[in-house]
């Protein structure tokens, strides 16, 4: 268990070039993040692992790359123009803005007598509850503790609170306005005119590009049900409170599958995707009990959804969603069919039936997955220095498939021809498609530690023995064991270990 993990991870991401604040030289911009040289490799590897597993290795899923800006009628038909809203409240005093469903009032009242009323964001609830009960005498405290859940209200339902209790700002204690709907889609204008006829939206999800192309893909690819269409791409949401590093951003990437199937097979496919997607995260390093699969309660389900489950991860800031898997029935296709006036039905030439397929949607966030992989990988332990003395080290134990650099190659010293041999191994790795890093500067222990921090799973060292028998050492980042192998076998060895 690493203390202050989030703080340390954010520091490492900046120091080593994983993630930077967007436009930092101008003071940044809230909710936007840039991926540096190591970060972009990590994120690409996450996307490539997903694409490889859900598209290339399968016969029943094809890919798509739709535009970010689409005809605005897409977003009317999908319900986003009317309903993609969050409840927003403003502080009348300090002018801060909050999502009304994320600000809590902790209110301890005994009849008319309000013992305590504080406004907090979710991470302050437990402390505020304890404070609320601590202020009461022991008899009252027991009663309050028994109904502890009823102490907490979101400011969204402030009208249901006892008289005399107002919604307060968690920052300054000022009074909050009542909640109003705030549409999270970013608006822009297409063409030279800036009026209502040229309004367009930056897509808030990649899914609708798939639904809008469903017929194109069906008619051109000779696919039969069940089949899926997968897409990776940017999505934009004007989040009221972007927070927790990249977890809730305003610009992010999604990796989504819309899997079309017969309605009577939808629940079977839903269960298949729910389990398959959970296992994908386990297989890529989230094997600890911080990962969980949570089925939605019936009252949590959207009105069109027959079932939904979330793959969740316990981040240092709380348990949150990485990916949702839903049975969306024929909701999306039927809405586009009606709005566009195009037939979206499928003809099953075996059963001779015509129907609208149901859709199972596994919808994940690339940035959230990347953040979870980083959180899980971050470790602090010890590794011996050149003299064999244990030294503290920070290491990212990333799954080798995701690691930005697969292998680092070092000459032990900068003489006796060692740099030439090491450079050749480095070049061989690169031409075999392995991302490799060559480093000849500084003590070898320091070079190992720099690679540990970058998550590089293997370090190859050319030393005195190499000059005699053409063997090199390969150090394993996690076990710290060193294998001695023939220099010419490095590429094959690293490939085998990665797969």
User: Does 99 sit near ligand GAP (CB under 6 A)?
Assistant: no
Give whichever of 228 and 400 is closer to ligand GAP, judged by the CB atom: 228
Site for ligand GAP in 189-208 (CB under 6 A): 205, 207
Taking the least distance from each CB to ligand GAP, the nearer of 144 and 369 is 369
Coil, strand, or helix at residue 143?
helix
We find the least distance from the C-beta atom of residue 240 to ligand GAP, in angstroms, to be 10
Containing H/E element for 486? strand 482-486
Among 215, 248, 336, 406, binds ligand GAP (CB under 6 A): 248
Helices (H), 192-319: 207-221, 266-283
Among 87, 209, 324, 457, binds ligand GAP (CB under 6 A): 324
Site track 256-295 with ligand GAP (rule: CB under 6 A), x = hit: x---------------------------------------
In Å, how far from its chain's centre is CA 176? 31
Taking CB atoms, the residue at the shortest distance from ligand GAP is 365
Closest of 308, 333, 305 to residue 323, by C-alpha: 308
Nearest-approach distance from CB 81 to ligand GAP, in angstroms:
16
From 321, 320, 296, 300, select the one nearest 309 (Cα to Cα): 296
Residue 102 binds ligand GAP, judged by CB under 6 A? no
Distance CA 244, CA 210 (A): 29
> Considering the complex, what minimum distance in angstroms separates the CB of residue 309 from ligand GAP?
11
CB under 6 A: which stretch of 60-68, 362-370, 377-385, 456-464 binds ligand GAP?
Answer: 362-370
Q: Does 367 bind ligand GAP (CB under 6 A)?
A: yes
Supply the minimum distance, in Å, between the C-beta of residue 355 and ligand GAP: 23
Q: Which two tokens stand for residue 425?
A: 């191994």
Q: In the complex with ligand GAP, which residue's Cβ is closer, 324 or 411?
A: 324
Q: Is 249 in the site for ligand GAP (CB under 6 A)?
A: yes
Q: How far apart are CA 263 and CA 260, in angstroms?
A: 9
* Residue 368 binds ligand GAP (CB under 6 A): yes
Of 320-328, 348-356, 419-427, 440-448, which segment contacts ligand GAP by CB under 6 A?
A: 320-328
Q: Verify binding: residue 252, ligand GAP, rule CB under 6 A.
A: yes
> How far is Cα 18 from Cα 13, in angstroms, rounded to an integer?
5
Q: Is 453 one of the binding residues for ligand GAP (CB under 6 A)?
A: no
177: how many CB neighbours lie within 10 A of its CB?
14
Does 449 sit near ligand GAP (CB under 6 A)?
A: no
Q: Is 332 in the site for ligand GAP (CB under 6 A)?
A: no
Instruction: For residue 229, give both structure tokens.
Output: 């269409």
By CB under 6 A, is residue 215 in contact with ligand GAP?
A: no
The Cα–Cα gap between 276 and 79 comes to: 29
Contact between 371 and ligand GAP (CB under 6 A)? Answer: no
80 scored as a contact of ligand GAP (CB under 6 A): no
DSSP letters along 306-351, please? SEEEEEEEEETTEEEEEEEEEE-TTHHHHHHHHHHT----EEETTT
Per CB under 6 A, 237 contacts ligand GAP = yes
Determine the angle formed by the axes of helices 207-221 and 331-340, rounding to 10 degrees. Answer: 80
Residue 323 within binding range of ligand GAP, rule CB under 6 A: yes
DSSP states of 14-53:
HHTTSEEETTGGGT--TT-EEE-HHHHHHHHHHHHHHHII
Which token pair is 289? 């009990």
321 contacts ligand GAP (rule: CB under 6 A): yes
Its sign, for the CA torsion 55, 56, 57, 62, is positive
Interacting residues toward ligand GAP by CB under 6 A: 205, 207, 237, 239, 248-249, 252, 254, 256, 321-324, 361, 363-365, 367-368
């Amino acid at each position: 268990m690493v203390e202050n993990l989030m703080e340390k991870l954010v520091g490492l991401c900046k120091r080593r070039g994983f993630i930077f604040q967007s436009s930092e030289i101008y003071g940044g911009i809230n909710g936007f993040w840039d991926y540096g040289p190591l970060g972009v490799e990590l994120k690409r590897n996450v996307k490539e692992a997903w694409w490889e597993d859900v598209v290339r290795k399968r016969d029943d899923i094809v890919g798509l790359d739709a535009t970010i800006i689409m005809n605005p009628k897409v977003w009317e038909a999908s319900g986003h123009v009317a309903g993609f809203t969050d409840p927003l409240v403003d502080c009348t005093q300090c002018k801060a803005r909050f999502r009304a469903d994320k600000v809590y009032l902790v209110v301890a009242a005994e009849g008319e007598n309000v013992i305590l009323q504080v406004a907090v964001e979710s991470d302050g609830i437990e402390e505020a509850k304890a404070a609320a009960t601590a202020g009461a005498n022991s008899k009252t405290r027991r009663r309050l503790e028994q109904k502890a859940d009823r102490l907490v209200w979101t400011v969204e339902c402030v009208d249901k609170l006892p008289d005399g209790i107002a919604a307060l700002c968690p920052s300054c204690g000022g009074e909050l306005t009542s909640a109003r709907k705030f549409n999270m889609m970013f608006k822009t204008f297409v063409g030279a005119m800036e009026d209502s006829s040229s309004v367009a939206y930056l897509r808030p999800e990649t899914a609708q590009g798939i639904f809008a192309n469903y017929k194109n893909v069906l008619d051109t690819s000779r696919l039969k049900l069940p089949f899926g269409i997968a897409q990776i791409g940017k999505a934009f949401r004007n989040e009221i409170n972007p927070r927790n590093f990249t977890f809730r951003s305003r610009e992010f990437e999604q990796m989504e599958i819309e899997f079309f199937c017969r309605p009577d097979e939808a629940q079977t496919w839903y269960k298949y995707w729910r389990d398959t997607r959970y296992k994908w995260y386990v297989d890529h390093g989230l094997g600890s009990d911080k990962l969980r699969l949570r089925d939605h309660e019936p009252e949590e389900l959207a009105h069109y959804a027959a079932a939904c489950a979330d793959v969740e991860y316990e981040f240092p800031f709380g348990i949150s969603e990485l990916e949702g898997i839903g049975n969306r029935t024929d909701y999306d296709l039927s809405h586009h069919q009606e709005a566009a006036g195009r037939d979206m039905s499928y003809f099953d030439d075996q059963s001779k039936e015509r129907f609208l397929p149901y859709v199972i949607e596994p919808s994940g966030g690339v940035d959230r997955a990347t953040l979870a992989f980083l959180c899980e990988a971050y470790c602090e332990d010890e590794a011996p220095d050149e003299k064999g003395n244990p030294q503290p080290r920070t290491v990212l134990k990333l799954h080798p498939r995701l690691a930005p650099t697969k292998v680092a190659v070092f000459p032990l010293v900068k003489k006796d021809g060692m740099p030439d041999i090491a450079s050749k191994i480095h070049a061989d790795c690169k031409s075999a498609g392995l991302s490799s890093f060559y480093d000849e500067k500084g003590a070898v222990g320091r070079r190992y530690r720099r690679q540990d921090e970058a998550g590089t799973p293997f370090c190859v060292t050319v030393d005195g023995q190499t000059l005699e028998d053409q063997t090199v050492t390969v150090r394993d980042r996690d076990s710290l064991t060193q294998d001695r192998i023939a220099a010419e076998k490095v590429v094959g060895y690293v490939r085998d270990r990665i797969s």
